[in-house]
Chain A
Amino acid sequence: MDGDIGAIVEARRDIITRLKTMLIESLNLEMEPNEIAEDSSLFGIGIGLDSIDALVIIVGIEDAFGVSIPTDEPHLYRSINTIADFVESQLVVK
Chain B
Amino acid sequence: MTPLTRPESNVMEFVISPDGPSIEGYEGFRQTVAISTLDNMAALAISGNDATALLDAAATGNIQELYEYSVRYCLLLTDAARIISDLIVLKRDDSFLVLMDKKNVAAVREQFATLANDFGDVAIADVTGESAFISVDGPYAWELPKALIGLETIGIRLLTFQDVEIDGYAVTLVRLGFAGEYGYLFITPRDAAANLLDRIRKARPDAVFRTGPMPAEIRLEVRSYNCLVDSPNGESPLECGLHWMIDFRKDRFVGLEAIRREVANGLSKKLVALNIPVDREAKVSKVFCQGQEVGYIVNAAYSPIAKTGMAMAYLDEPVAWVGVTVSLPTQDGLDLEATVVSAPFLLAQSNEVEMS
A9's closest neighbor in chain B, by CB? B321
Q: Is the CB of A5 within 8 A of B290?
A: yes
| A39–B319 CA distance with the chains assembled, in angstroms | 16
Which residue of B177, B241, B266, B318 is within 8 Å of A1 (Cβ)? B318
A26 CB within 8 Å of chain B: no
Judging by beta carbons under 8 Å apart, are A35 and B243 in contact? yes
Which chain B residues lie closer than 8 Å to A82 at the CB level? 342, 356
Q: Which residues of B contact A5 (CB under 8 A)?
A: 289-290, 319, 324-325
Chain A residues with CB under 8 A of B243: 35-37, 40
Instruction: Name the CB-closest residue of B to A80.
Output: B342
Nearest-neighbour CB distance to chain B for A65, whole angstroms, equals 16
- What residues of A have a CB within 8 angstroms of the CB of B354 in the complex? 75
CB B264 to nearest CB in A, in angstroms, measures 8
Interface size on A, residues (CB 8 A): 31
Asked if B249 lies at the interface with its beta carbon under 8 angstroms from chain A, I say: yes
Across the two chains, which residue of chain A brings its CB closest to B326? A5
Distance between B207 CB and nearest chain A CB, rounded to angstroms = 23
Q: Is the CB of B318 within 8 A of A37?
A: no
Instruction: Report the interface size class on chain B.
Output: 35 or more
- Least distance between A48 CB and chain B CB atoms (Å): 8
In the complex, the answer to whether A12 meets B322 with C-beta atoms within 8 Å is yes
CA distance A85 to B243 in the complex (A): 21
Question: In whole angstroms, what is the CA distance A45 to B319 when docked?
Answer: 27
Which of B1, B266, B273, B318 gathers most chain A CB within 10 Å? Answer: B318
Residue of B nearest to A75 (CB): B347
Alpha-carbon separation in the docked complex, A57 to B319 (Å): 27
Q: B249–A13 contact, CB under 8 A? A: no
In the complex, residue of chain A having the shortest beta-carbon distance to the beta carbon of B262: A34
Contacts of B321 on A, CB cut-off 8 Å?
Answer: 8-9, 12-13
Say whether, besides A2-B290, A30-B249, A81-B343, A47 and B244 are in contact (CB < 8 Å).
Answer: yes
When the two chains form their complex, are residues B263 and A46 in contact, meaning their CB atoms are under 8 A apart? no
